[in-house]
Each structure stands twice: as C-alpha cells, then as structure tokens.
Amino acid sequence: MIHPRQGHPISRAAKPRVVVVGAAGYAGAEAVGILLRHGGVALVGLFGSNRHAERAQRFDELFPRYRGWTDLAVRAATVEGILDAAPDAVLLATPHEASHDLAPTLRAKGIVVLDLSAAFRLRDPGAYPAHYGFAHGHTDALAGAVYGLAELNREAIAQADLIAVPGCYPTSVILAMSPIVRAGLLDGTPIIVDSTSGASGAGRTPALKSMLCEVSQQPYGVFSHRHEPEMIQEVGCDVVFTPHLGPYDRGILSTIHAQLRDGVSEQAVRSVLAQQYDHEPFVRVLDAGQWPTVAAVEGTNQCDIALAVDDRRRHLIVSTAIDNLVKGAAGQAVQCLNIRFGLPESWGLARHLSEGAREAALS
Amino acid sequence: MIHPRQGHPISRAAKPRVVVVGAAGYAGAEAVGILLRHGGVALVGLFGSNRHAERAQRFDELFPRYRGWTDLAVRAATVEGILDAAPDAVLLATPHEASHDLAPTLRAKGIVVLDLSAAFRLRDPGAYPAHYGFAHGHTDALAGAVYGLAELNREAIAQADLIAVPGCYPTSVILAMSPIVRAGLLDGTPIIVDSTSGASGAGRTPALKSMLCEVSQQPYGVFSHRHEPEMIQEVGCDVVFTPHLGPYDRGILSTIHAQLRDGVSEQAVRSVLAQQYDHEPFVRVLDAGQWPTVAAVEGTNQCDIALAVDDRRRHLIVSTAIDNLVKGAAGQAVQCLNIRFGLPESWGLARHLSEGAREAALS
Amino acid sequence: MIHPRQGHPISRAAKPRVVVVGAAGYAGAEAVGILLRHGGVALVGLFGSNRHAERAQRFDELFPRYRGWTDLAVRAATVEGILDAAPDAVLLATPHEASHDLAPTLRAKGIVVLDLSAAFRLRDPGAYPAHYGFAHGHTDALAGAVYGLAELNREAIAQADLIAVPGCYPTSVILAMSPIVRAGLLDGTPIIVDSTSGASGAGRTPALKSMLCEVSQQPYGVFSHRHEPEMIQEVGCDVVFTPHLGPYDRGILSTIHAQLRDGVSEQAVRSVLAQQYDHEPFVRVLDAGQWPTVAAVEGTNQCDIALAVDDRRRHLIVSTAIDNLVKGAAGQAVQCLNIRFGLPESWGLARHLSEGAREAALS
Amino acid sequence: MIHPRQGHPISRAAKPRVVVVGAAGYAGAEAVGILLRHGGVALVGLFGSNRHAERAQRFDELFPRYRGWTDLAVRAATVEGILDAAPDAVLLATPHEASHDLAPTLRAKGIVVLDLSAAFRLRDPGAYPAHYGFAHGHTDALAGAVYGLAELNREAIAQADLIAVPGCYPTSVILAMSPIVRAGLLDGTPIIVDSTSGASGAGRTPALKSMLCEVSQQPYGVFSHRHEPEMIQEVGCDVVFTPHLGPYDRGILSTIHAQLRDGVSEQAVRSVLAQQYDHEPFVRVLDAGQWPTVAAVEGTNQCDIALAVDDRRRHLIVSTAIDNLVKGAAGQAVQCLNIRFGLPESWGLARHLSEGAREAALS
C-alpha cells in the first residue's frame, strides 16, 4: 500500500500502480490518456468489456490518437486479471451494475477503488431500484463510499478507499449551487436546471441517437433523468433537472435558475463562491458580464461559473461549463486519485499537471 | 391593390407583386428562396444595404445555392427604387431602425408591409428606447400594426396593411404558451424559458462570434434580451428568457418551465393545445413521450410542441422547436402574405406549398 | 401498366403506384420524402428490413421530420407484401444482394424496378464476385438493365423496365467526365479522383465510424473502393478513385485531375460541357473562377460542375458537388421514374418540381 | 545571448525570454498556449495588430480558454515595445509583409527570429512579387534564413538566427514526400496533392467565408495557391496542389498521388520513410491498411503518414494528417525554438512536453 504524501516529489519506485477498467469507452479512454501524461503513476493494466477483450485489442488501435503512447492491450475484465496487475488503485469506468459487483471485491483486496458509475453515489440504497433498476447488495460499501467532488470533499477523499466519482451533469450543478444553498441564500423553491451535453455523454457503443446524421438539439429524459436524485442529495434542495443533447462532441453547459431569499444580493452570492473557489485551480468564477462557453473548458479539468441576479424578481441565473469527460468524469477521477495518494492534485490535468514536477526540475 | 380571396386559384395576371428588402441577409434570402418556389406571387425586386448594393450583385452570386433560379440583382434600398418596382407588398428584412423609417413611407403609398424587424411589434411605444435604443416616431403606424403570428391572429392579418412578423425566439414560446395562459392554467409566477439558437440567428454580417471556430454552446443576453418584452406582451404573463447559442446552423429549441394552478392536469394542457392546433398545418403537438428536435423542423415552417407535467410539483415543461429562419422569420412572413392576399396559406412553404396548385393541376 | 406520356398533365386516376423498399435507410427515406411531395405518383407501400418491420413501425416515427405527412408503416419486405400493394414501380433502396434477388422477381410480374444498389450497374457479370462478393445469377436481367443517369441516358431510361440507378460517387464523376472523354479531349492516362462524402453515405445502421464523436476527415477504401469499376465503365477510361469521409451530414465533393491532349484548351472543355448541359435543369456548369460547394447543392437534385486548366502542364482540374442522397441516390431515382412514366422530369425534385403543376394551376 | 545546450535541465535564470507577435490570431495564440505550458521558457511579451492593441486587451479576454493562465495583455506591435521586453527570441505570427519588415530589424539586435509567415521561406527572392505581392527587400536575410522543418533540417535550425517556419499545407506534404523524392523513387511527373483544411486556417479576422453558416466542403485557390512554390522548392519536384476547405475547426488532411519509377515497390517507399522517421517523436508512419484521420492528430504536434501502392499502375497514394495550428504552425515553431536553444525538443508539445522535466522531478 501507498501512504498518502502531501505534495512531495515522489520516487519512481513509489508510483502508485493504476488499472483502468472500461478503457474502451470514452470516459475510460480519457482516463488512460490523462494517466499516460501523468508521470506520477504507473498505468499497469487496461480492461474492457468482452466485446473488445475477446480480441485483446491494443488501446492505441481502438483510439489511434494514442498511437505510440502505449502498447497496452485492453483485456477482458476479470477479477483475476485485475488482481494479476497488482494495482494500488482501480478506476472503474464501467456500467453501474458492473461497478456494483466489482468494487467490493477489489476493496476486499485492499485496492483503492475510484468508481465513475453511480453505483456508490446515492446514500440511500433504497433509491437504486427506482433510478438504476437494481437492488443494492453492498450497503456497507455504499455507506463507506465518499462522494468524489474534490473541491467540496477533499479531506474525506484523502482518506477514502471507495470514491464515488460524481456524474457529469451533477458536477456542473453541484459545484455552483451547493455552496449557495449551504449559505442559506435561496428561498427553498426548487432549482430549475436546463443542461446541454455533447454526444460523447451517450458513450461509445454505436447507437442511432449518437450518429452524426442524427444528433440534434433536443431535450430528453424529462422528469426522469437518473442524475436528478444525485443533484438533490448533494445540492441540498429540490432540483428540476432537464438534460438536452447538443450537436457537438464534448462539454456540458448548465443554466440554473433559483429564487433568492429577500434581501440577498448578487454580491452576496459572489462572496460565497469567491470564498469557496478563489484558491481552487480548477474552478473559475467569471466576472460580471462574462458567461461560460463549452469551448473554453473543452479538454480541460476546469469548471467555469458565471451568474447574474435580477433584483426585481429575486431571480438568480447561474451558468456553468465543464468538459463532461474530464471534470465530469476522468479528470475528476484522477484529481481524486492524486488527493488520495498524496500527489500534487493537478498532476496529469492539463497545464497544471506538471507545475510541481517542472518546478522541481527547473530549480 | 389586390383584394383578398380565400383559397381560389388565382390567374397569373393577379399575382401579387412582391419586393424583398434586406435580401442579402439570412432571413431576407430565405424569403427570396421561398418566394421563388411559391408560384402564386411575382417577385419583382430585391434590395439590400449599400454594402451589397453598390455592386448591384446578383442574388445568386451572394447565395450560390440559387444559381439559375433568378437573375435578379440586389440593389441599393431606396424608396424610389422600391416604388419603381410597383410592389403590392414589401417584406422588410431590415434592421429595426431601417424598418421604422421605411414602413410608414411604403404604407403611405398603399403598399402592404410585412416587417421582420421589431420596429412594430411592441404595442407600447415607450418600450422602444430601453429595448431597441431609439424613440418610436410612428406611433400611429405602430397602433395599426398587426402582430403576424398566423395561427393566433389569422383574421386580423387578413385585413392588415402593416404586419409585424414575430421574432424567432418569441414564436417558439408564444405558440405554445399563449393558449395555456389564456386558458388560465398557470399560477401566475413567471415562466422560465431557456432557448438555444443556431448561428444563423446572429445574421450574415461577418463577426467573430459567428465564426465556425468560435461558436460554442453558451448563454448570452442574460436578463437583457430584447425579445423578453415581446414574449411578455404576447404570452400574457411574466417571462424570464435566457437565449443560448448552439454550434449549428439553424433552428431554435426552447425549453419552458411553468407552474400549473392546483388541480390542472397534463390532460387539461393537452386539450387546450389540441383545440388550438389540431387543424393547423404548421403546428404539431407531439404525443406524450415524444420530444422535439431541431432536425425535425429544419428547413420547414413547422413548430413542434411537446410537454410533460410533474404532478407532485405541478411543474409543466413545454419544449418547442422551429427553424429560426422559416417559422421564426421568412416562412412566417410568407404565411402572413398568403393570408393577406387570399392565397392558400401554405403556398411556398415546403411540402404544403403546392398542394393547392397541384390539386388544380391534377384534377 | 402505365404508358409513357411526355409532359402532359396526368389525371389523378392514372398516377403510377409506387412502392419503396428499404424505406428505413437514408436513401430510401429520402425517396419517400420526395415522393410525398411529388403529387404525380401514389405512394402505396413502404418496406424495410426485418429489424424495423417486426414492429411495423410508422415511417414518421422512424423519421420524425415527416410527422403528419403520412401514416404509412414500414413493413417486412416480402415479395407477397410488395405485390399486394399492386405497384407499377418499385424503388429498391436495399443491399446489393437483396436487390439482386428481388429485382428479377418483380420484373417477372411486370413491375418497373428502379434499383439504387449496384446489383445491376456493372455490365460484366464477372466483375461481381471480386467487387461485391457474390456471383451474379441474373445475367439476363443484368444485360437488359439500363444505367439510370438521366442526363446521359434519357431515351433508354424512358423505355427501361429495370433501371440501375448510379452510385453517389460515380454520379459526381461521370456527369462531368463522360462527355469530356467521349469528346476525345484527354491523353489516355488515368483520371485521378479525390472525393469527400458526408456521413450519410455510410448508411443509417449504427456503426462506430458514423458516430458524431468519431467522424473525422480521412481517406478510406484506398485502391479498393467498389465504385471504381463503375466509374471506369461509364467514364470510358481508367480512374484512380480515392473516397474520403468528411465531418458533415450530406453531400459529395469530387476533385478530378486529368491530362488534356496537346492543344486542347479550357475553352474546348467548356464547349463540350455547355453543349451537354446548357438545357439541363439539374446540372449547372459554373463560370470560370467559381467553384462548387456542398452547401450549394445540399437537399437538391443539382450537380454543380466547375473546371480550370493549367496550360503549361495541360492539367485539367474539374470539381463537382452533389447531394449524395438526392442526385446521388433518391432524387436520381425519382428523375428516372418521372422519365419512365412520362411525367415532367423535375416533378418532386425541389423547386423545379411543381413548375408544370403550377403552370397548369395558375393558367 | 543564450548558448545552445543539449537536453540538460536548465536553471530558471537561464530560461530564454520569448515574445509572441500576432498573439491575437489563431497561430499566435496557439503558440502562447504552448509556451504557457512549456516550463522551459519565459513568456515576456505579447503583441498584436493595432486593432487589439489599442485596447491593450488581456490575452485571456481574447481567448477565455486561458483565463487564469496569464495576465499578459496584447499590446501594439512596435519595435520599441518588443525590444523593451528584452527577448532572446521572437515568434512572428504576423502577415507576410509585417514579418518581412520586422524580422531584419529584430535580427540586427541579436534576437533570434522564428517567422511563421512566408516572408523568408522561398529561396528565390524573385518569386515574391508573383506569389505574395511584394518585392523582397531583405535578400541577405532571406539568404541566411533556415527552413524550419525540424525533422528534415534539425542541424541547421540549431545554428539558425532566422528560422522560416513552414506553412501548414507544405508541412503536410514535405514531411512525407521529400524523403521519397530524394531517394529517387518517383518517375519525375508532377505530384498531385488534394488537401483539406479546417476553418482555422483562414485566420481569426471575421470574414464571410469563415462563418459557421457558410463553411462547406469546397476547393479554392485552384492553380494559384501561394503554397505551391514552397512545396515544389522543398519536395524537389513539380507539385499540382489544390487546397480545400472542410466544415471543421482544425487539421489538414492531404492525399498525395505520385508515379513510382519502374520496379519500385511499396516496401521500398516504406523503408525510406522508416529510416527517416522511426526515431522521431512527432512523425508516425502507419502500418499498411491504416489511414490517418484529422481527429487523431488534433491538438497535437504529430504528423501521421500512411501509404499504399497500386503495382499495376505504379501509382503511390500517400495520405497525411496534421493539426494546422500545431505541427502546421505554432508547434513547429516551438519545436524549432527548443532545438535552437538547446531545450529538449518536445518540451511544451503535448504529452512529450514534460518528459524531461518530469524525469528530473521524479528521480
């Protein structure tokens, strides 16, 4: 086992050994790409569903962008295979049911699990049948899981052995609204969230809805999206969440409506967010008059947050942007991994990645 | 002057003579394309801003799609030039200020004016300085203008001489919400509208924001979009409207949130819309579980409307899709033109266009 | 049976009855859309593969754009089912093997067959095993089939009972190059063709390569594309054809390189094309300095052709654009159908469609 | 002056001071982004055209993606301003004429100049009036300039003081074809190149052709593109080059046709490329059957090269992909900068960037 260290350069021998399961999907592959750039971890195994694993296809054949980066193959995901790789940590970019089954088994072997599915996100096990279609059989593991939203939960993550990495839509909402709700600035009526996601959010399995000729701006999952209970749980108030699909590759833009309590000013909202995020490398609260765009965060681990208040109606509009595959999935997972293993939190994550490494190298 | 006739085939001699001003912009060019397919009108002149008019550039050079359809040039828009074309009707796809100045002059000559700008949409002249930056100098004309939303205002349009064709965003909201508000189904709190438009909504004048490399999902005009007062006026209740830009060419998707009065069911909402639209060729109210897409209305004069109700919260979500250049601008204008001149209402407008003509031809 | 008539308005009773097989694919659905707008034919049945037919899904559920245009369902394609619809003509938008089997059966019943596959395009039956993977078992039918490129083969099409509608890439090449080769302007070295097609060319069956997140500019089928022998056959000289995929929905752009014989000028090439196409409604030869774009032909049955000559090298560059689903498939098929049944050739095909109908109606 | 060092970690004091001129354009901004991630250089000044400089706008306002990365403003590009920043090296991402004037002045002050324009690329000064519209007034500087294609010219670049960074299209052609021509494998007839570029190649100045609603697959600059003489000069044989615009953001795909000499096999071509590139980090020669895509190189400094030979016709097809803003402009410039200043060649350039730094940090 690796012991957490805080920000010290680590020796090569001590690099945590990491396995990615679900490496043939978009989120898993994004994690592989980040870990290949990371430098502070050893990527020791890639696993996927049987569809890809039968052929033990090389990762860089599945994703030609990474030709020459790695010669790892994506093998069939079996417990034995994973254990053979002797990982310190496993990233599960797998369906909810697969994560539900796999995580406790890996935990029992002392492996740190970072799960990108929803299998360990909802605190109430009774919510699973209705929202995810299966009864939760690992309530102990669920009770011990830590919600992996790094900026809001850093200390717990540093000690956690099972980290439930947040969903993409929830990340885009919770980062902005949780501090505002906790500060008591809202009037208690439901928050209304209209989000638009690029097509990568639907995954890499071929489907009519994801074809270039079919993707078109549209709502879906109205009053029934699985992410709504996760938002309600973590934001701390009722949320009416409507996801939309947009005709582009990556990125989520969320526009959020809330009613302020009497007397709460825009400045009060800004103060709460400033206090929370002024020193965070991955959250940028924009100045008044500026609004986020998907383009500005694409391919990065950033969350951009902007807001305005209409005083007459006490109506608060908050808009946020993230890359659904990075801050909304793989980047967030690596951020949690870094926290958990005492590595500089931004390693592997775009520009900020190698600040620490580089500083050491150049001094 | 042409006298309105109701649905009778018209003789060639009686074809209304139509001029388009602003033919070098997207909405104006769309109108030209529709009128070239129309068959029941004579397109007798195209005018544009001086930028294009100096060169008297051919329309089909500006829009190569129409090569071979017409040899009309886009000439400098002067009152004299327009009058020389001896039009029965003029479509103004011009900036608000230009329409404001031009419409009364043309009206004084007995010409029917269909204005695609906002210059004659707001009933309150006092609203213009705040929202459009100019004082309204033609309050008589404004008072006589008819709001050109064909499905809701057909009888007045048939008699109107100055028709204020609705804005693209307002069309996508008013068609759905005006009948619901008029039926008294809502609780009186503001309606919340999040709309996304393709880049053609920003016009054809080159601008950084409209470049392929720059367009990205994002909100804009938060709490300050000019279309909000138009929506409030026509829907009949308060509206919090937030437009967004999406990375695509054409089409608006609007997602609308409203609070129902106690005891109002989804069925009640559906009944109101069914009663309003069951016999309308250009409005489709989708079955429960179906939701609109921009793709399904692109290039057509259709408005698709879908809805769902969350009974627990009495929360109504309505989602609509239109093509911003057709039902949101040029198609709507031609629909009004047809109504005003007694032509079959769907002539020129996609599939429905030539039903009448064809029936006659084939009988 | 319907007898060909040349351009006369037809009585409603005499409308040819048309069936589309393969109506759940992009080309088949495009044909349905065109026929629904057509007015001069009766669309009497839609058939598809078992995948869709099991559910007998309504066409307008598969393609929501057409909601309200038709209530026809897409049924399982059986010979009995097709015959029950009593068609005068059947459009086969089916895989090569399915067309190969179905066409002769339908012909034996006196039905005119328009086949959008390659099953009856190559005159040499011996070419099928190598290029299409099956031995041709209907060589008589093959010998009697007419290549359905309307502009070059109009008279034969008017008499044909089995029309092999050209492929999309071949159409974009043959229309431009066949007249030039026949006029003896080239030096006999191979023509080099680099074409780019939008993603609809790969069909509607979900596949990784067609997903929005995967489509990217790239060559494919290098030295092995099935369309090369068809081009060689119809152009009349050797062709090196390299297709590419582009990140867009519809349209093919072909850039073609050829060596002129000594002394052949650009003007000579222009004269040949002018003579061939000056009176054709669906082919536009652009002026010097103008070049085609996919946007200018998207959704239309047009083929735009442009060219330039570098005299020093005697190098001719020709560039063409078509919509792969219209002039490259369904539009071309309807054009042939119109010719075969004596309907005005442009009926159903965009603007030109209803000229005849409208003229009749308005006179 | 900085003395070249080969691969040693450098002390902070010794970091080369770098200025970017043209930082408000796409290529200049890409260079800024790379240099901000670089770690081994000090970015000491940004300059732009007067349009942006009048407002001394912050770089991260012009490009919100970089919010929080830098607080540098883009100032008016004057010689005095640039000299005030005391740079060791200046990257000129400026128009040809501006580079032509500026480079010699900066050179006279002992500053290393990396010019991304064509002002110092053509060895024959007499070629400038015809191809670039100005007479070259600095023939001495031109004679001393080194063509900055790193893989083919590394040793000269290491000693150069004026580096003419290649054009985007030429890079995509020369990397593949120069070794093949030098090895004498071709028959001497012209190479035919059809390239497609994303819209960023046209720059960031608003223009109709670059608007999202206008960009469409199309050829342009037929027989007249400025890059043709550069290709001919560096490839070493005649080139017929036809650029195309594609409806996407970044990346160039080039498909290249050449005639092999009798008896030259595909294997012979592969051997030449393998010998040239097997140890290069930024060039990947793909296995037989694999073809490049723009997606696989987007945002990277990679050039992917694939090829096939049709033995019967002795026809060689080579296809290459690069990111036009990275390997085709800013990345190539930084690669040259690294070579010139003795930094590890891959620093700042994606994954490879921080290998050196990281190795040092982790050891």
Q: What is the pLDDT of residues A93-106, one digit of tens each?
A: 999 999 999 999 99
Q: How close B344 comes to chain C (CA, Å)?
A: 13
Spell out which residues of chain A touch residue D357, defining contact as CB-CB under 8 Å.
354, 357-358, 361-362
DSSP string, D154-210: HHHHHH-SEEEPPPHHHHHHHHHHHHHHHTT-B-SSPEEEEEEE-GGGG-SS--GGG
**Total beta-carbon pairs less than 8 A apart between chain C and chain D:** 118
Interatomic CA distance for residues D186 and D267, integer angstroms = 14
Does residue C2 carry a pLDDT above 70?
A: no
Average pLDDT score over residue span D73-84:
95
Does residue D362 carry a pLDDT above 80?
A: no
Q: CA-nearest residue of chain D to A298? A: D65
By Cβ distance, the residue of A12, A69, A358 closest to D363 is A12
**Chain D interface with C: residues with Cβ < 8 Å:** 190, 192, 194, 196, 214, 216-220, 222-223, 238, 240, 242, 244, 246-248, 251, 253, 255, 257, 291-296, 298, 308, 310, 313, 315, 317, 319, 321
Spell out which residues of chain B touch residue A293, defining contact as CB-CB under 8 Å.
216-218
3-class secondary structure, B300 = coil
What angle (nearest 5°) sits at the alpha carbon of residue C149, between those of residues C146 and C152?
A: 100
By Cβ distance, the residue of A206, A247, A248 closest to C211 is A206
Q: How close B294 comes to chain A (CA, Å)?
A: 6
User: Which residues, in sequence order, are bridge partners of residue A186?
Assistant: A260
Instruction: Decide if D361 and A363 are in contact by the 8 Å CB cutoff.
Output: no
The confidence score (pLDDT) of residue A299 equals 94
Interatomic CA distance for residues A151 and A94, integer angstroms = 24
Interatomic CA distance for residues D89 and D162, integer angstroms = 10
Please report which confidence band the pLDDT of residue A350 belongs to, taking 50, 70 and 90 as the band edges: low
Instruction: Decide if D216 and C190 are in contact by the 8 Å CB cutoff.
Output: no
The pTM for the full model equals 0.94
Taking CA atoms, A197 is separated from A171, A328, B269, B296, D255, in Å, by 13, 11, 29, 19, 34
Average pLDDT score over residue span D290-309:
97
Instruction: Decide if D357 and A353 are in contact by the 8 Å CB cutoff.
Output: no
Q: How close D285 comes to chain A (CA, Å)?
A: 10
What subunits touch chain A, counting only 3 or more CB pairs under 8 A?
A: B, C, D
Q: Say how many residues make up chain B.
A: 363
State phi, psi for C48 to the nearest 5 degrees: -145, -170
By Cβ distance, the residue of B212, B247, B250 closest to D211 is B212
Does residue D285 carry a pLDDT above 60?
A: yes
Instruction: Decide if D199 and B211 are in contact by the 8 Å CB cutoff.
Output: yes
The confidence score (pLDDT) of residue C225 equals 84
**Total beta-carbon pairs less than 8 A apart between chain A and chain B:** 118
- Classify strands C17-21 and C89-92 as parallel, antiparallel or unpaired: parallel
Interatomic CA distance for residues C135 and C121, integer angstroms = 14
CATH number of the D12-166+326-362 domain: 3.40.50.720
Q: Tens digit of pLDDT for each residue in C282-329?
A: 999 999 999 999 999 999 999 999 999 999 999 999 999 999 999 999
Q: How close A288 comes to chain C (CA, Å)?
A: 34
Instruction: Decide if B215 and D212 are in contact by the 8 Å CB cutoff.
Output: yes
- Segment among A245-259, B43-57, B261-275, D149-163 with least mean pLDDT: B43-57
Q: Which CATH architecture has domain B12-166+326-354?
A: 3-Layer(aba) Sandwich (3.40)
Cβ neighbours, 10 Å, residue B97: 13
Interatomic CA distance for residues A47 and A29, integer angstroms = 11
Q: How close A26 comes to chain C (CA, Å)?
A: 10
The confidence score (pLDDT) of residue D363 equals 33
Instruction: Note down pLDDT in tens along chain B; length 363 residues.
Output: 333 333 334 444 579 999 999 999 999 999 999 999 888 999 999 999 866 656 668 999 999 999 988 999 999 999 999 999 999 999 999 999 999 999 999 999 999 999 999 999 999 999 999 999 999 999 999 999 999 999 999 999 999 999 999 999 999 999 999 999 999 999 999 999 999 999 999 999 999 999 999 999 999 999 988 899 999 999 999 999 999 999 999 999 999 999 999 999 999 999 999 999 999 999 999 999 999 999 999 999 999 999 999 999 999 999 999 999 999 999 999 999 999 999 999 889 865 334 434 443 333
What angle (nearest 5°) sits at the alpha carbon of residue D119, between those of residues D115 and D123?
A: 110
Tokens coding D218: 């199309």
Percent of chain D with pLDDT over 90: 86
Average pLDDT score over residue span D244-270:
98
Spell out which residues of chain C touch residue A204, defining contact as CB-CB under 8 Å.
208, 211, 213
The confidence score (pLDDT) of residue C51 equals 66
Does residue A353 carry a pLDDT above 50?
A: no
**Chain B interface with D: residues with Cβ < 8 Å:** 26, 198-200, 204, 206-208, 210-213, 215, 247-250
CATH number of the C12-167+326-362 domain: 3.40.50.720
Percent of chain C with pLDDT over 90: 86
**Chain C interface with A: residues with Cβ < 8 Å:** 26, 198-200, 204, 206-208, 210-213, 215, 247-250
Residues B322-345 as b or e (16 or more Cβ within 10 Å = b): bbbbbbbbbbbbbbbbbbbbbbbb
Q: CA-nearest residue of chain D to C319? A: D219
Are the C-beta atoms of residues C91 and C21 closer than 8 Å to each other?
yes
Spell out which residues of chain A touch residue D303, defining contact as CB-CB under 8 Å.
none
Q: Could you tell me where the beta strands, DSSP code E, fall in chain A?
A: 17-21, 42-48, 74-76, 89-92, 112-115, 146-147, 162-164, 191-197, 218-219, 239-245, 252-259, 283-285, 303-310, 315-322
Interatomic CA distance for residues C353 and C40, integer angstroms = 10
Does residue A211 carry a pLDDT above 70?
A: yes
Average pLDDT score over residue span D314-329:
98
Spell out which residues of chain D touch residue B26, defining contact as CB-CB under 8 Å.
213
Give the H or E element holding residue C82. helix C79-84
Environment class of A314 (CB within 10 Å of its CB; exposed 0-12, middle 13-18, buried 19+): middle
Average pLDDT score over residue span C187-202:
97
Does residue C209 carry a pLDDT above 80?
A: yes
User: Which residues, in sequence order, are bridge partners of residue B283?
Assistant: B303
User: Which residues, in sequence order, are bridge partners of residue B20?
Assistant: B46, B91
Residue among C132, C128, C126, C164 at smallest CA distance from C145: C164
Tokens coding C343: 């309907």
State phi, psi for A330 to the nearest 5 degrees: -70, -40
- Classify strands C89-92 and C112-115 as parallel, antiparallel or unpaired: parallel
- Cα atoms in the Cβ-side hemisphere of radius 13 Å centred on D158: 14
Please report which confidence band the pLDDT of residue C53 belongs to, taking 50, 70 and 90 as the band edges: low
By Cβ distance, the residue of A37, A286, A357 closest to D357 is A357
Spell out which residues of chain A touch residue B191, defining contact as CB-CB under 8 Å.
none
Residue among C297, C317, C292 at smallest CA distance from C307: C317
Are the C-beta atoms of residues D26 and D200 closer than 8 Å to each other?
yes
Active site residues of C: 168
Interatomic CA distance for residues A332 and A153, integer angstroms = 12
What subunits touch chain B, counting only 3 or more CB pairs under 8 A?
A: A, C, D
Taking CA atoms, B17 is separated from B185, B347, C200, in Å, by 44, 15, 40
Does residue C184 carry a pLDDT above 70?
A: yes
Q: How close A105 comes to chain D (CA, Å)?
A: 32
Are the C-beta atoms of residues D47 and D75 closer than 8 Å to each other?
yes
Q: What is the DSSP letter of B159?
A: H
Spell out which residues of chain C touch residue D298, defining contact as CB-CB under 8 Å.
216
The confidence score (pLDDT) of residue C3 equals 35
- The residue written with tokens 């093509």 in the block is B323
Are the C-beta atoms of residues D317 and C194 closer than 8 Å to each other?
no
Q: CA-nearest residue of chain C to D258? A: C192
Using only C-alpha atoms, chain C has a radius of gyration, in whole angstroms, of 20
Instruction: Decide if C211 and A208 are in contact by the 8 Å CB cutoff.
Output: no
Instruction: Decide if D212 and B207 are in contact by the 8 Å CB cutoff.
Output: no
Q: Tens digit of pLDDT for each residue in C115-174?
A: 999 999 999 999 999 999 999 999 999 999 999 999 999 999 999 999 999 999 999 999
Tokens coding C114: 């328009």
Residue among D293, D291, D207, D217 at smallest CA distance from D248: D217
Spell out which residues of chain D touch residue A360, defining contact as CB-CB under 8 Å.
360-361
By Cβ distance, the residue of B68, B304, B362 closest to C39 is B362
Average pLDDT score over residue span A200-226:
95
Are the C-beta atoms of residues D163 and D340 closer than 8 Å to each other?
yes
Instruction: Decide if C65 and B290 are in contact by the 8 Å CB cutoff.
Output: no
State phi, psi for C21 to the nearest 5 degrees: -105, 130
Which residue type sits at C23? A
State phi, psi for D157 to the nearest 5 degrees: -60, -35
Q: Tens digit of pLDDT for each residue in D224-256?
A: 888 999 999 999 999 999 999 999 999 999 999
Q: How close A204 comes to chain C (CA, Å)?
A: 7
Q: What is the DSSP letter of A16?
A: P
Q: Tens digit of pLDDT for each residue in B31-52?
A: 999 999 888 999 999 999 866 6
Domain ranges for chain A, please list them: 12-166+326-362, 168-322
CATH number of the A168-322 domain: 3.30.360.10
The confidence score (pLDDT) of residue C357 equals 39
3-class secondary structure, A139 = helix
Q: Tens digit of pLDDT for each residue in C163-181?
A: 999 999 999 999 999 999 9
Q: What is the rounded average pLDDT for all residues in chain A? A: 91
Cβ neighbours, 10 Å, residue A134: 13
ipTM reported for the complex, 2 dp: 0.93
Spell out which residues of chain C touch residue D220, defining contact as CB-CB under 8 Å.
291
- Cα atoms in the Cβ-side hemisphere of radius 13 Å centred on A216: 23
Instruction: Decide if C190 and D253 are in contact by the 8 Å CB cutoff.
Output: no
Spell out which residues of chain B touch residue D204, defining contact as CB-CB under 8 Å.
208, 211, 213
Q: How close A236 comes to chain D (CA, Å)?
A: 30
- Segment among A343-347, C336-340, D98-102, D229-233 with least mean pLDDT: A343-347
3-class secondary structure, A194 = strand
